[in-house]
Copies of this chain bind each other. A is one copy, B any other.
Amino acid sequence: MSQTPDKACILQVSERIQPFIHRTPVLTSETFDRMLGAALFFKCENFQKAGAFKSRGAVNVVMSLSSGEAAKGVATHSSGNHAQALARAASLRGIPSFIVMPSNSPQVKIDAVEQYGGKITFCKPTLQDREASLKKVLEKTKAVEVHPYNNFSIIAGQATAAKELLEEVPGLDLILCPVGGGGLLSGTALAAAFFSEKTEVIACEPAGADDAMRSFRAGKIIPSVEPVTIADGLLTSLGERNFPIIRKYVKDIVTVSEADIVDAMRLIFERMKVIVEPSAAVPFAALLARKIVGAKKKIGIILSGGNVDLKKLPF
**CB within 8 Å of B: which residues of A?**
22, 25, 27-28, 30, 46-47, 49, 51, 266, 269-270, 272-276, 306, 310, 313, 315
User: Which B residues touch A28, using CB under 8 A?
Assistant: 22
Quick one: which of B30, B266, B270, B274 contacts A273, CB cutoff 8 A? B274
User: Which B residues touch A49, using CB under 8 A?
Assistant: 30
Q: Quick check: A25 and B25 within 8 Å, CB to CB? A: yes
User: Which B residues touch A270, using CB under 8 A?
Assistant: 310
Distance A313 CA – B275 CA, assembled complex (angstroms): 14
User: Which B residues touch A47, using CB under 8 A?
Assistant: 27, 272-274
A266-B310, A269-B275, A273-B274 given. 4 additional CB < 8 A pairs?
Answer: A27-B47, A46-B273, A274-B274, A310-B313
Of all chain B residues, the one with the shortest Cβ separation from A48 is B273
CB distance from A304 to the nearest CB of B (A): 12
Q: Which 4 A-B pairs have the closest CB atoms?
A: A273-B306, A25-B25, A273-B275, A46-B273
Distance A272 CA – B266 CA, assembled complex (angstroms): 18
CB distance from A272 to the nearest CB of B (A): 7
Q: Quick check: B46 and A269 within 8 Å, CB to CB? A: no
User: Which B residues touch A272, using CB under 8 A?
Assistant: 47
CB distance from A268 to the nearest CB of B (A): 10
Q: Quick check: A51 and B274 within 8 Å, CB to CB? A: no
Contact A51 B273, CB 8 Å, known A25-B25, A27-B25, A310-B313: yes
Distance A30 CA – B273 CA, assembled complex (angstroms): 21
Q: Quick check: A310 and B269 within 8 Å, CB to CB? A: yes
* Most interface-central of A47, A269, A273, A313 (chain B CB within 10 A): A273
Of all chain B residues, the one with the shortest Cβ separation from A52 is B273
Distance A281 CA – B30 CA, assembled complex (angstroms): 25
Distance A310 CA – B272 CA, assembled complex (angstroms): 13
